[in-house]
Structure 1
Amino acid sequence: MSEVKPFVAVVDDDESVSRAIKRLLRSIGLASDTFKTGDDFLDMFESIPSYRPACIVLDVQMPGLNGLEVQQRLAGSGIPVVFITAHDEAGVRKQALAAGAVAYLRKPFDDEVLIKAVRTAIILGQKT
């Protein structure tokens, strides 16, 4: 039986950001799925029990559910979250990290920092 390769879910309403992250992850050998909203991701996550990304890269501000609300809905799932945001507010950062986010990165982010955060998140997720 072959082991399922880890993949990352990228949730961001900015398609250019999602595409850039998808390319970056592909460059280090990771597959990814992209979603425009937290609602779209949660629909997939909740309707297909076997759908389990190794990590989720999650925008904070999106139409519908925001990133913090998606993080709350994932509580207890063991899926690590890496936040990305264009609007870095100290209170939001503190709330995200207190709820267990692996990283909270401001856009535009450094590619190497995002890669390191995703790799760390995947390792942490494998321990749960």
Structure 2
Amino acid sequence: MQSPSVNLEERRTIVSVVEDDAAMGAALRDLLNSAGCEAIVFERGESFIRSGAASNCDVIITDIELAGFDGLQILGAEAIGKVPVIVITALTDHFLERRAVDRGCFAFLRKPFDPAILLEHVRQAAASR
């Protein structure tokens, strides 16, 4: 029996969101889901890393300032492999931005950001894989 062919262009982009602000996490989930992605939200960096979700997602969006395991640590975690990471923050700290870029973040956005710009970065990041 021949297995059915899979059209990869119809596959939903899976995005893991690591955001400790529940309202922001819900807003990002709703935005990503409305754009055709499948968004999974984690409130703690440790929970995200322990879940193994990085091995099944196409893009990671993380706040840089998280209690415990923060966004910079997520960027440096071996568990994320080569999954592109979009970093978001309300901070205006250029040193943190430089550190995130040096660790290989795909994009760095300051809150509040234009949702269309975030979605474009998600599209580009998923296409880069």
- Listed as ranges, the matches of 1:26-41 within 5 Å are 26-41=33-48
Q: Is the 8 A contact 1:44 1:51 kept in 2?
A: no
Residues 118 and 17 of structure 1: CA distance in aligned 2, closer, same or farther (over 3 Å): same
Give the TM-score, by structure 1 length: 0.87
Query: Which letter maps to 1:33?
Result: I
The structure with the larger Rg is 2
Letter in 2 for 1:115: L
Alpha-carbon spacing, 1:75–1:101, altered in 2? closer, same or farther (3 Å): farther
Alpha-carbon distance in 1 for matches of 2:38, 2:12? 8
What TM-score results when the alignment is normalised by the length of structure 2?
Answer: 0.86
Structure-2 separation of matches of 1:22 and 1:100: 24
Q: Which runs of 5+ in 1 are unaligned?
A: none
Partner residue, 2:56 = 52
Q: Compare 30-39 and 65-74 and name the one that shifted more.
A: 65-74
Deviations 1:43-74 (A, max 9, x none): 102xx7x8421000000001111100111014
- Taking only aligned residues, the RMSD between alpha carbons, in angstroms, comes to 1.9
Equivalent residue, structure 2, for 1:17: 24
Structure 2: runs of 5+ lacking an equivalent? none
Cα drift, residue 38 of structure 1: 0.5
Q: Aligned partner of 1:101: which letter?
A: C
How many Å apart are 1:88 and its aligned residue?
2.4
Q: Could you tell me which residue of structure 1 aligns to residue 68 of structure 2?
A: 64
Q: In the alignment, is the contact (CA less than 8 A) between 1:12 and 1:37 conserved in 2?
A: yes
Give me the identity figure in percent.
30
Does residue 103 in structure 1 map to residue 107 in structure 2? Answer: yes
Shift of 1:120: 1.1
